Structure 1
Amino acid sequence: MLAKVLLALLGTSAIFPWRIEGPHVESEKGPSVRDDDIYGPEPQAPEKKLPFEETKPPAISAHNSLGKLPTATQILNGILNNYDHKLRPGIGERPTVVTAELSVNTLGPISIVDMEYTIDITFYQTWYDERLRYNGSFESFVLNGNMVSQLWIPDTFFRNSKKTQEHSITVPNQMVRIHKDGKVLYTIRMTIDAGCTLYMLKFPMDSHSCPLSFSSFSYPESEMIYKWENFKLEINENNSWKLFQFEFTGVSNETETISTLAGDFIVMTLFFNVSRKFGFVAFQNYVPSSVTTMLSWISFWLKKESAPARASLGITSVLTMTTLGTFSRKNFPRVSYITALDFYIAICFVFCFCALLEFAVLNFLTYHHTKPRAPPKLRHPRVQARALAARRALRHQEAFVCQIEDSEESDEEEGPSCPAQQSLGLGGHQLPGGCCKWCGKYCRAVPGREGSGWQRGRLFIHVYRLDSYSRVGFPVTFFFFSVLYWLVCLNL
């Protein structure tokens, strides 16, 4: 018995020194060949921690977060297990109420030719779905666009859209948020090319309201109701809007019910009000047309003998106004009515044409009607003296006399009506035809002898003073037209 106790003590003393001194020996002399098999892997020198490892949360918090993940998965799988996304909430009981809101990211540009505009929006829709209620510590779940196909979503479409683009970079720009009480928020970002009927009668002093209408495609009013809850429209002014020629003046909304073959549908409409900026059109159309009209008046200060200069100036003014009228319609819809700008350019064209026509009339009256005929060779001395007197009268003719008569005269009256005209009857230039008879009755060419009795009660117009009359008449008439034009256009 004593021998067994001694052997046990010797074995204990032999084992404990090895366990205590082992690491020291291993660090000084190196491990033995069989140490790995007996004591497990040898200890390694401590490595330097990386920055992200130094800030790593404790193992306890990581364990807790990993513990919530299965819980969220269980809740989500639980509410989607028996969920049928093909049926709307409250089917057979009550209509689904969808609250809509908009956030405008970018508005414009507005195409005048195509009568449409581009808008970039973030569209929010909110409704309640009792099938998505759950109990848990999570207030809401945020699901990305890949989960949208597993839920019921309102079939909203934009009625006046020509082209709609849903953004999908880098992932589909859609989001669904599910709350504990079954409230669902669906968000999507899209770019829409919507139609906008532009009434251009007051162009370029026009204002427009561009609509954006949306409704359900298949659910009538008895199954789905849209509404604005405290109408709210977010406008991101930090983004650069591409309105260019227009200025944003405000927004308004409207709710109406339309009847179709499929039923009565609630239509929600937003109106984006814009007004045109006048500066661009003024410098491109109004200023050139006004200046061109004024340049055509320079011909009134040129001598009537300078026919090439006056004719070229008048023709150039008319052609310039024609070009301006064509240019103003280049980027313009083909409407059937006349706009305010078209009317202004047309009046300027008339002024330029009348300036050219004034020179033609002056030249005709001066060099054609007053041109004396070569006297025939007369043998009788009394007839020859009478012809010479007629030639002198025509040579000094400088005026038109328009008769102002109170009594009615027959249109068939022919022949001279005064002694002076009778003296010119032999050498005067008479043209056949009824029109010339009318002109001969009311406008007569006479010599410039003022004070004669037959000129009383008539309007005396000097032919050579026609330019002087035009120098005053054209500017004054154009000034009154411009004042009246702007008063009417700005007050409408």
Structure 2
Amino acid sequence: MTAPFKHTACLLRLALTGLLFVWWRPCEGNAPNKTVCVLYEASPNISCLLEGYDRNFRPNFGKEALVINMSMTVASIDSVSEVDLDYTITILLRQFWKDQRLAYRGMNRSLSLDGRLVEALWVPDTFLLNSKEAFLHKVTVDNRLIRLFSDGELIYGMRITSVLACKMDLRKYPLDEQTCTLELESYGYTKEDLIFTWKDGNKSIHNLDKIDLSQFSLGDHNTKTSESVYETGTYPRLILSFKLHRNVFFFLLQTYVPSILLVISSWVSFWINHEAVPARVALGITTVLTMTTFITSARASLPRISYIKAVDVYLVMCFVFVFAALLEYAFVNFESTTSKHRARKRLRARKNKNKKQEEIKHLDEAKPLKGPLKAAVMESTKTDDEPPTPTSPGIGSTTSSTRRRERQPTFFDVASNVVSNLREKRAAFKVEIKDINVIDKYSRVIFPLSFVLFNIFYWITYTF
């Protein structure tokens, strides 16, 4: 073999060896048999840890799924909105996992690293599934924590504020109890890659029972592990659920007590003289308009949902009671006007009767009337309320019957008779109220009693 050929073969062998070395270095950083980095208390150097480290691959890549343990501290629940069906929460989320590539020796204590170092490490792609919007706090620096232990265990903490959707059933509002959730899920890793678990079950949630809300009191909370199935695979999910008991005292002062007082105010008209028309009408209209305003303002603070809420039932029934009080006065006023009209009509009839009787008396004294003529005159003096006296057979009856036979009844005569019969039947069934004040007296008892019964039924139905 010539010298130039040997020289060329040697160069090719060196080049191939160099390529293999370059290709093998990244893989060596992820290999489980990587040399454990040695750190010294005096001057720890983390560059040794990151030598050959590839953040694009999860720990245990190609092997069993990596277990991610989680815990959470609830810093605050800022608001709960029934209009938007969501709530705002600030949490300190901590994730625990083990990355053997970051194991070290030489130091017995853990390393608290700068949060900016997270850009150089692999971290889980956890996100809030039911989040509408969220942000990571950055004052004065990014609120992130990285803590590394000698066996490669990592703690990754973040401070997050998020607006989370909450499915609410407002049928019993404001006597309701809501259950809201916080759901954590992996965005890109399926259950073959990651396993999500709560670190200590329900004890993984801290400080939730110490949260104070203006309109709610927090009840029991529960944690569970679940999975989400999509077209791209099955993803691990963690769920925190907690109950919100609404404090009804605020709504008692804002809605219920004013409505009750308004209904009671409408009953004042029952003690006002029915002849004081301006006072009773003004009171009735004012209470009706005020109740309408209450209903409008109550619905403005709630979403436009199709079903009826408990507060709607109460306000509508209060409106019915207030409107019924106004209708009661309309009925009283109508009966009062009608009774006065009937009284005037009777008075005129009596005056006419007395006048005719006086005229007959004077005529009888001047020239006595006899027979059928006297009977006809007496019949003309009777009022509408008195039944007609049957005429005795004679000249008058013969003449009238002859006239009826000669004149045939027309359509208008028949219609007039039908109308007269209907009026007579209506008058027979009509109950005349002699004392108008009786209506107000009964209303003073019926209205309060009905309202009390309604309240008993309402509070039993929606409270239990």
TM-score, with normalisation over the residues of structure 1? 0.69
1 or 2, which has the higher helix percentage? Answer: 2
CA distance in 2, matches of 1:442, 1:271: 70
**Aligned ranges for residues 265-280 of structure 1 at < 5 Å?**
265-280=235-250
SS of residue matched to 2:300: coil
How many correspondences in the alignment?
370
- Residue 386 of structure 1 is aligned with which of 364, 382, 389? 382
Read off the aligned partner of 1:269 and give its amino acid letter.
I
Of 450, 455, 458, which aligns to 1:477?
450
State which of 239, 246, 264 in structure 1 corresponds to 2:216.
246
Paired residues for 1:13-92 under 5 Å: 68-70=41-43, 72-73=44-45, 76-92=46-62
C-alpha change, 1:383 and 1:316, in structure 2 (3 Å) is farther
Instruction: Quickly say closer, same or farther: Cα 1:256–1:299, change in 2 above 3 A.
Output: same
Stretches of structure 2 lacking an aligned partner (at least 5 in a row): 1-38, 357-375, 388-416
The answer as to whether partners of 2:73 and 2:208 remain within 8 angstroms in 1 is: no
List per-residue Cα deviations over 1:410-468 (Å, max 9, x = no partner).
xxxxxxxxxxxxxxxxxxxx99699x8798288324597xxxxxxxxxxxxx6541111
Tell me, yes or no, if structure 1 residue 288 matches structure 2 residue 258: yes
CA–CA distance in structure 2, aligned partners of residues 132 and 349 of structure 1: 71
Distance change (3 Å), C-alpha of 1:388 and 1:478: same
- Cα distance between partner residues in 2 of 1:217 and 1:110: 27
Residue number among 127, 141, 151 corresponding to 1:157 in the alignment:
127
Give the structure 1 partner of residue 114 of structure 2.
Answer: 144
Q: 2:226 aligns with which of 251, 256, 270?
A: 256
Contact 1:315–1:356, Cα closer than 8 Å, also in 2: yes
Kept in 2, the 8 Å contact 1:109–1:242? The answer is no
Is the partner of 1:249 in helix, strand or coil? strand
Question: Could you say which residue in structure 1 is the equivalent of 2:193?
Answer: 223
Deviation of 1:342 after TM superposition, in Å, equals 1.0
Letter in 2 for 1:466: I
Distance 1:445 1:137, change over 3 A: closer
Displacement of 1:234 in angstroms is: 4.7
Q: Secondary structure at the match of 2:133?
A: strand
Distance (whole Å) between structure 2 residues aligned to residue 480 and residue 160 of structure 1: 44
SS in 1 for 2:378: helix
**Is residue 2:340 matched to residue 1:344?**
no
- Give the percent of matched residue pairs that are identical in Structure 1 and Structure 2: 34
Deviations 1:325-362 (A, max 9, x none): 11212222222111111101111111111111011112
Shift of 1:108: 2.1
- Displacement of 1:377: 8.8
Q: Which ranges of structure 1 fall in alignment gaps of 5 or more residues?
A: 1-65, 392-429, 449-461
Q: Supply the AA of the counterpart residue of 2:445.
A: V
Aligned to 2:439: 466
| Structure 2 Cα separation of the partners of residues 437 and 111 of structure 1 | 62
- Aligned-residue Cα RMSD (Å) equals 3.0
Say if 2:282 is the partner of 1:309.
Answer: no
Instruction: Return the alpha-carbon distance in structure 2 between the equivalents of residues 69 and 178 of structure 1.
Output: 17
Report which stretch shifted further, 261-270 or 436-445: 436-445
Q: Hey, what does 1:170 align to over in structure 2?
A: 140
Query: Does the Cα contact within 8 Å between 2:134 and 2:161 map onto a contact in 1?
Result: yes
**1:25 aligns to what?**
none
Greater mean deviation of Cα atoms: 196-205 or 241-250: 241-250
Task: Report the Cα offset of residue 69 of structure 1.
Answer: 4.2
1:168-247 mapped onto 2 (5 Å cutoff): 168-231=138-201, 232-236=203-207, 241=211, 243-247=213-217
The structural deviation recorded for 1:270 is 0.7
Residue of structure 2 in register with 1:116 after alignment: 86
